[in-house]
Amino acid sequence: MHRSAERQHSFRELMRKEYYNQENKAKAALPTKPNDTRWNSQLSTLRSAFNIREAIDAAIAQERDPTHVYKAFAMTEGDWRNIEQLIEFLVLSERISTSVQASGSTLADVLEYHVLMVSQLDDALRTMGDCDGARLDAQNKEDRAKKPEDAPHQMAAALRAIKLKLGKYRDLAVQNRTAVIAALMHPNHRLKLFKDDYRERQDEAEEMLKSALSELLNRGKSPSTPAMAAPEPTVGDSPLKAARMQRLARVEAMKTHDDEDVDDPVEDEIRRYIRNEAAWRNTDGTPEKWWKDNEVEFPNLAKLARIYLAVPGSTASVERVFSAAGSRSIAGLGPLGTAGWKTDSAGDGRDHCGDEGQASQG
């Protein structure tokens, strides 16, 4: 329908006839050609096509020539049902994609988002009667070698393919130290996300947290001066001075022994945080606000949280800048120097680094 202006006009006429009593559908957008590397582009095409499915079926049916290009797109009722199911399924993925692209500490939720998507996949597969697909562990090498085509029907095969693909990304994310610590720094996740959904990674995640905090606290610390040993009595000292020195040596030895029995305050802070002290409440709003309110309770971890909660979970913000820069360059607006950006922004009232460029939802 996009091959020529004439064909597009012809399809529009058919839509007006097919939806003569439904003005919204009669003027609905035509399905666009999807970008093969962007799943959200595919979803947009499916949505717009499903919205005018009656017109698409009518356009294909009215062509008598069996070799006409339209005939290759003939759809059965089962095909449309599959598309409807796929659209419904991808709503959660679309919402997650939008959330990750938002500004703020979005990396902290990535591991949880993966769990939510896998849970939805398993529920959908069980509903479709593919219990083997629901039991399939996409992070297991043997299960990952299985082919989606082994599923009992087409839709189950599609969901298995999604699950296997997601498994690869889950592996990469849970092995990434930054992603793991960001998740731990979310006061609503802490270690319980790993206890519940990444059990084999629980101990490793805790060690990552301890290691990162240790590195942070030691980064700006100057080498400590070794403790001075208590002076020992020497020949010629008076009995009183010698007695005092012996007492001082005994006191220093006792202090060293006592220090060994005292818990490391940093270790204690991590333990209290992991035990869910100062539990997260829905009224806390954002992780950043929680840390600000509880900085006194966890002073060292709060420093770590400032770093890891600042990491975005998507490259969308960077892509927006490059998209805007590309649009400006193609439009012949001059060099991309700082002065040029400021001049253009002041001149037309637009922010060329803002929302002008559309970010892709990877």
Whether the predicted pLDDT of 74 surpasses 90: no
Query: Percent of the chain having pLDDT more than 90?
Result: 43
Give SS3 for 233.
coil
Which residues, other chains included, contact 8 with Cβ-Cβ below 8 Å and sequence gap of 6+?
1, 2, 30
Backbone angles phi and psi of 358, in degrees to 5? -85, 120
Q: Is the dihedral of CA 272, 277, 281, 286 positive or negative?
A: negative
Could you read off the pLDDT of 141-198 as tens digits, one per residue?
888 888 898 899 989 999 999 999 999 999 999 999 999 999 999 999 999 999 999 9
The rounded distance, in Å, linking the Cα atoms of 34 and 42 is 5
Could you read off the pLDDT of 245-262 as tens digits, one per residue?
777 777 777 765 555 555
Cβ pair 14, 59 in contact under 8 A: yes
Q: Which two tokens stand for residue 304?
A: 């770590």
Predicted model pTM: 0.72
Whether the predicted pLDDT of 361 surpasses 60: no
Q: What is each CA distance from 319 to 223, 228, 310, 325, in whole angstroms?
A: 43, 57, 18, 10
Q: What is each CA distance from 111 to 52, 170, 175, 182, 287, in whole angstroms?
A: 37, 7, 11, 9, 16
The rounded distance, in Å, linking the Cα atoms of 111 and 166 is 11
The rounded distance, in Å, linking the Cα atoms of 285 and 300 is 22
Q: Which amino acid is at 39?
A: W
Q: What is the DSSP letter of 178?
A: H
Could you read off the pLDDT of 292-313 as tens digits, one per residue?
999 999 999 999 999 999 888 7
Kindly report the number of other CB atoms within 10 A of residue 278's CB atom.
15
Cβ pair 351, 345 in contact under 8 A: yes
